[in-house]
Amino acid sequence: MKLFIDIGHPSYYLALRHFIRILSAKGHTFFITARDKDVTAELLNHDGIVWKNRGKGSKTVPGKLYHLVHSEVKLLPEVRRFAPDLFLSFSSPVAAHLAFILRKPCITLEDTECAHWVIRSYRPFSTVILTPVSFRNRMGKKHLYFTSFKELGNLHPKRFNPMEGETVQNGFLPEMPFILLRFTGSGALHDRHQRVLYEHEKIQIVLHLSRYARIYISSEEILSRELSSYAIPARAWEMHHIMARASLFFGESATMAAEAAVLGIPSIYIDDRGRGYTDELEHKYGLLFRYPKSSSGIEQALNMAGRLLENTDTLHQWQNRRQLMLKEKTDFTDFLIGFVEHFPQSFSVLKDGEKEEHYPATL
């Protein structure tokens, strides 16, 4: 089978990395394109993936529209020559539009409910839209569900062992104990009306949490002079080995908050809206806490962080909660391989908007 995959965010590649590796070993071929966002290029190149760079994009709405059209026009002749049997992506209008033009099926994965404009741009052109069961919105007959988190595509214990890998062997080893912070940047379309943490709030968080442990900061944007000494000196592919050793995660990123949670690391997520999957990790499994991005919300989050860090049994409790979550969730990679290899029959098995509890994870 020939598959076209478009990647718009580092977390989307991480969710698909083992899917790509396993299907490549089985003889399937890929045409992979990616937007050069954050550490996407670093991850792809480290894994030896052959891919086409479609640029960094833009932070403005007109710039995003121009980049979308330019990417599609430039890619169309090459994709037509490759002649894919199936298009696959997380939340990519590029993949959906090219599939529609070439009259091929497109599987679109989604887990961000607030990405309204992006969803509107790909929804009419996608054959099927796959989301976690916790997804808050309903998108009609095309919308099917899986009982997993995309973060388990990379961090399921079948795929990831934090006691092995480059970090332990010859990479960055953090000073223990430590807290991992993540600060995001502006520019994502779904965050257009949301603010990032102010500089004085970042400093407040660092000063408060540094009472308990060493602080390492991962930041989407360049840190200020006051915070630059806390920047984590790690390579992109080391981050999850480091995260798995943290005493606490605290930050603005939904993805990294969920990654820490599925690893069994106490996770505090600062955001006004949240996501369906962070809601599930919080309210069903108790692996994550979300607080609003306000003065009172940050104060509550810091108080909770202190209680978690002062409790010597916290990490043990979180690992027990993680085991419960893993018992109830399918391996995302196994699910997606089964769905793709048996498509379109798999669509019929999972149709009618049923929850995946009622159908097999691997077909």
Separation between Cα atoms, residue 133 and residue 86, nearest integer Å: 24
Most confident of the ranges 156-170, 192-206, 339-353: 192-206
Per-residue pLDDT band for 352 (boundaries 50, 70, 90) equals: low
- Residue-averaged pLDDT of the chain: 91
| Same structural domain, 198 and 272 | yes
Asked, for residue 317, whether it belongs to a domain, the answer is yes
* Whole-number pLDDT of residue 267: 99
| Same structural domain, 12 and 150 | yes
Average of per-residue pLDDT across 237-246: 93
| Same structural domain, 117 and 206 | no
Lowest average pLDDT, out of 72-81, 145-154, 179-188, goes to 179-188
Lowest average pLDDT, out of 39-43, 85-89, 162-166, goes to 162-166
Query: CA distances (Å), 57 to each of 4, 11, 38, 154, 280, in order?
Result: 20, 17, 11, 26, 32
* DSSP secondary structure letters along 68-129: HHHHHHHHHHHHHHH--SEEEEES-HHHHHHHHHTT--EEEE---TT-HHHHHHHGGG-SEE
* Count of residues making up the chain: 363
Q: Return the closest-CA partner of residue 14 out of 150, 132, 186.
A: 150
Asked, for residue 48, whether it belongs to a domain, the answer is yes
| Same structural domain, 211 and 292 | yes
Q: Return the closest-CA partner of residue 249 out of 233, 236, 234, 262.
A: 262
Please write the tens of the pLDDT for every residue from 205-236: 999 999 999 999 999 999 999 999 999 988 89
For the domain that residue 307 is a member of, what is the CATH number? 3.40.50.2000
Separation between Cα atoms, residue 137 and residue 145, nearest integer Å: 11
| Same structural domain, 117 and 214 | no
Q: Is the pLDDT of residue 192 over 60?
A: no
* Whole-number pLDDT of residue 353: 45
Asked, for residue 160, whether it belongs to a domain, the answer is no
Per-residue pLDDT band for 356 (boundaries 50, 70, 90) equals: very low
| Same structural domain, 173 and 320 | yes
Beta strands 178-183 and 248-251 are: parallel
Separation between Cα atoms, residue 77 and residue 187, nearest integer Å: 30
List the domain range (segments joined by +) for residue 266. Answer: 166-327
Average of per-residue pLDDT across 316-330: 98
112, with CB counted inside 10 A (0-12, 13-18, 19+), is: buried
| Same structural domain, 177 and 142 | no
- The two three-digit tokens of residue 203, written as one number: 């400093």
Per-residue pLDDT band for 265 (boundaries 50, 70, 90) equals: very high
Separation between Cα atoms, residue 64 and residue 288, nearest integer Å: 32
* CB-based contacts of 262, cutoff 8 Å, min separation 6: 149, 151, 152, 155, 281, 287, 322, 325
| Same structural domain, 175 and 61 | no
Separation between Cα atoms, residue 338 and residue 187, nearest integer Å: 35
Asked, for residue 178, whether it belongs to a domain, the answer is yes
Lowest average pLDDT, out of 35-44, 54-63, 136-145, 244-253, goes to 54-63
Query: CA distances (Å), 191 to each of 1, 187, 254, in order?
Result: 36, 7, 12
* DSSP secondary structure letters along 228-261: GGGB----GGGHHHHHTT-SEEEES-HHHHHHHH
Per-residue pLDDT band for 65 (boundaries 50, 70, 90) equals: confident
| Same structural domain, 170 and 317 | yes
Q: How is the beta sheet containing 86-90 ordered, strand by strand?
A: 52-53, 29-34, 2-7, 86-90, 106-109, 128-132, 143-146
**Contact assessment for residue 196 and residue 186, using Cβ atoms and an 8 Å cutoff:** yes
| Same structural domain, 120 and 216 | no
Please write the tens of the pLDDT for every residue from 333-342: 999 999 999 9
Per-residue pLDDT band for 171 (boundaries 50, 70, 90) equals: low
| Same structural domain, 131 and 45 | yes
| Same structural domain, 27 and 77 | yes
Q: Is the pLDDT of residue 277 over 70?
A: yes
Please write the tens of the pLDDT for every residue from 140-165: 899 999 999 999 999 999 999 986 54
